[in-house]
Structure formats: C-alpha cells, structure tokens
Copies of this chain bind each other. A is one copy, B any other.
Amino acid sequence: MYRPQNLRIPGPTFVPQAVLAASARPLINHRGPEFAALLAALTRALQDFLRTEHDVLLLTASGSGGMEAAIANTLSSGDKALVFSCGAFGERFAAIAKSYGVDARRVDVPYGRAVDPELVRDELAKEKGKEGAKAVLVTHNETSTGVLNPVKDIATVVRDSGKLFLVDSVSGAGCSELEIDEWGIDVCITASQKAWGAPPGAAMVTMSPRAWKAYEKSNLPKSYFDLAAYKAALEKAQTPATPAVTVFIALQESLRLMAEEGLEAIIRRHQNLARATRRGLQAVNLQLFADERHASPAVTAFRPPARVDARNLIRILRDDHDTIVAGGQGKMEGQLVRVAHLGFVTLQDIVSFFSALELTLRDLNQPVEPGVAISATLRAYAEGASPPAARPAARAAARPPADAVATRR
C-alpha cells in the first residue's frame, strides 16, 4: 500500500522531489570543471544565505563533524572555553571540546529556557583579571528542547569581551535571523539536512579572519577536518578529499528553490508555522516545553498528556498515521514529543500532523474534539501570514508594475 510519510523530525527534513531528482543525476568527476562550477556556485549561494563574506567551507560530514572542525581549527589543548548550554546539543558542543583536551566549562541553563545574554555577561565578568576563556561556544537553535537562543544579543556581549565566538547553528541557519558578519560570529556551523532541505552528508563551516588567526596558533590535531586544506582546495574549486557529490548537487538545487522564495519570506514562514503549531498544541491542552519568548522556528517540543509515555504517542503517530516525529533526547527520553516545521514545510504538512495527532490523542483516551487543533492552527496561521487590515495594501505592493511583468517575459 502507498503510505507516504509526513516526516516531521528536525532533520533529515523533507527533501522536495526536484532536489531528490537532482541528487540522482549521474556522477561527475570531483576534480573536473562541472564540479568546480558547482562548488563555486554553492559557496557563493551559502555566503548569501548566511549573510557573510567569510570563507564557507563544505565538509562531507554531519553537523557534529562541523562542530568538531570549529573546535579543532581554532583552539589548542588546555585552552579554556565557555560553553553556554540549554540542551543536548550544547552538551555535545562541550563534550567535543573536552574530547580534544580543551578545558571547556559548561554553563547550563535549565532545559526549555534560553541562554540569557546577561548570564553570558556575568560569566565573562567573572573572568576579568584571570586567564580566561579563549572562546565562547553557543548553540543557536537547540533542537533537543525547541529553543532559539538570542544569538544577536549574546554576540554583542561576546564581541565586547574580544573572545572568539563559535556558534552551532546547525538547525538555526536558513530558518531564522542570522547575520554572521554583522553580529561578529567567528565560526558558524550548519548542515545540509536541516533548513536547507537537502539529504544529510554535507556540513558547512564559516571562518572569519579572526578565526583564521586563531587557526595559526591552534595545536589540535586535524587532517580530515583541517579547514586550511579546504580553503586551499577551494581556491582550485575542489575539496581535499572526495566530497559527497550527490548531496552537494542536491544542496545546490534546494538553495535554488530557497532563493526563489527568498530568505526573509522563509524566515517569516517558519515563524508563522511554528506559532501555528504551538497554538494547535495548546488547543488540545498539550503543554509547550520551551519558553515561548524563545520558541524555535524549527521545532516545537511538547509534553505528552499526563500518564502518557511520549514514546507510546510517537509510536501510534508513526504506525497508524505515518507521521514521524521525534522524542526527547538523553534525560528527556519518554517525556517529550518534538514536531519539526523545518525546511520545505507547508501549512498542509502541519495540518496533516494535527489530523494525525488528534486521532492519536483519542486513541489514548484523551478528550479531544476532532478539528480543534486544526482550527486553532489555521486561525493562528491566517493571522500571522497577513494581518487582515494590512492585507489589501500588502497585495498591491507585492504586485509588480505592468512594465516589470513585461520585462520578465
């Protein structure tokens, strides 16, 4: 039986048919002119989306590999680093640093809360006069709890301290505001299978001039993740080792689709869908996990109903409704459900999710009137997509003048 899945996990995200088809093109020589053109175009497109003129280096790895590259290329053994963590991926960032002998001190914020820029300021103030941290590490979008950290404000604090600023934006870039150059982010990591809607296999790492200076002093071993080798190879439009060619081709196609929509529209769509999702969940009395002021545009975490194991709810969604969501990670296992609205996601996907969730809740003997969550979702989306008062004017403004249309033809 044909049973398409509604893949609502925070990566791998749904990959459009056009992107899948691109990934299935015949292989090409990774040392030839076609790949050179591909890599140059990809790099330029990523710089545009990441709002940076820094180097953007494409690794054949998952986002975790990119996080490792960020650390191994800028720090040395024994260096101190401050890691602000509010979930599993903050913990992972610290663990990677520690595995390389970096003296990483983790400052934890309770799960579901965001990292407060004032906390960062206080922790940095404690270091005055001491040989303090060389770098500050922060997760942009904490996928495990559904929190978007205020990186813009944190960046202001970190910039004042003069320390290196390493940001894991694996699941934040491409779906939320991120101004790498303007905010002064030295190293930023993202990955193909998140907002970019391509298959997993490519990690992207940006390096500022300051990061390259840190590279010169870094003594951590690096070979596969040696970013200077990537930069040197990029000057010949190549990669040091064989890249995941089909993933790169797919990524180029997904970036093309994203460019058609435009980054601002993409960010607005994510905000709208995230808010609509939260309203739908609240309409069926499910408790949101994250502080709403810092709710993630990529993924929403919620508690299962009382006396329901999240794993059971997730299993019913999957087995009976072909709707694939994520559970809690680490110590949150069984206690959280995470539904993603990341990448090429539409209102229809969210409505489909809620149709599955409403029926699942009834299976679990929860008092749910069918359609309640969906109605709330649609209402919230309609409000966010175009406020009724502003609508006619906005439409008129969006319509190109007649001669512009003529020119386009």
Q: Which residues of A contact B (CB under 8 A)?
A: 4-5, 7, 9, 11-15, 20-21, 23-32, 60-65, 68, 72, 95-96, 99-101, 191, 193, 199-201, 220-226, 240-247, 318, 324, 326
A-B contact pairs, 30 of them (CB 8 A): A5-B26, A7-B27, A9-B29, A12-B27, A12-B30, A12-B245, A13-B27, A14-B26, A14-B27, A15-B27, A23-B246, A60-B60, A61-B224, A64-B242, A68-B223, A68-B224, A99-B223, A99-B226, A100-B221, A100-B223, A193-B242, A193-B245, A199-B246, A200-B242, A200-B243, A200-B244, A200-B246, A220-B221, A244-B244, A246-B246
Contacts of A223 in B (CB 8 A): 64, 68, 95-96, 99-100
CA distance A193 to B88 in the complex (A): 33
Q: Nearest CB to that of A326 among chain B residues?
A: B31
CA distance A64 to B29 in the complex (A): 17
With A12-B245, A99-B221 known to touch, is A27 a contact of B62 (CB < 8 Å)?
Answer: no
Contacts of A72 in B (CB 8 A): 221
Task: Contact check, B26 vs A224: say whether CB atoms are below 8 A apart.
Answer: no
Cβ-closest 4 pairs across A and B: A201-B244, A24-B24, A64-B241, A62-B241
Task: Contact check, A24 vs B26: say whether CB atoms are below 8 A apart.
Answer: no
CA distance A24 to B15 in the complex (A): 9
With A24-B23, A247-B201 known to touch, is A191 a contact of B242 (CB < 8 Å)?
Answer: yes
- With most chain B CB atoms within 10 A of its CB, the pick from A61, A63, A100, A101 is A61
Task: Contact check, B32 vs A318: say whether CB atoms are below 8 A apart.
Answer: yes
- With most chain B CB atoms within 10 A of its CB, the pick from A4, A12, A72, A247 is A12
With A62-B243, A224-B68 known to touch, is A29 a contact of B324 (CB < 8 Å)?
Answer: yes
Q: What's the nearest-Cβ distance from chain B to residue A388, in Å?
A: 37
CA distance A241 to B193 in the complex (A): 12
CA distance A12 to B15 in the complex (A): 23
Task: Contact check, B200 vs A11: say whether CB atoms are below 8 A apart.
Answer: no
Contacts of A21 in B (CB 8 A): 24
Task: Contact check, A62 vs B29: say whether CB atoms are below 8 A apart.
Answer: no
Q: What's the nearest-Cβ distance from chain B to residue A139, in Å?
A: 15
Q: Nearest CB to that of A324 among chain B residues?
A: B29
Known: A29-B324, A30-B200, A60-B62. 20 other contacts (CB 8 A): A5-B26, A5-B28, A7-B28, A12-B30, A23-B246, A24-B24, A27-B193, A29-B326, A60-B60, A60-B65, A60-B201, A62-B241, A63-B241, A65-B224, A95-B223, A96-B224, A101-B221, A244-B244, A244-B247, A247-B247
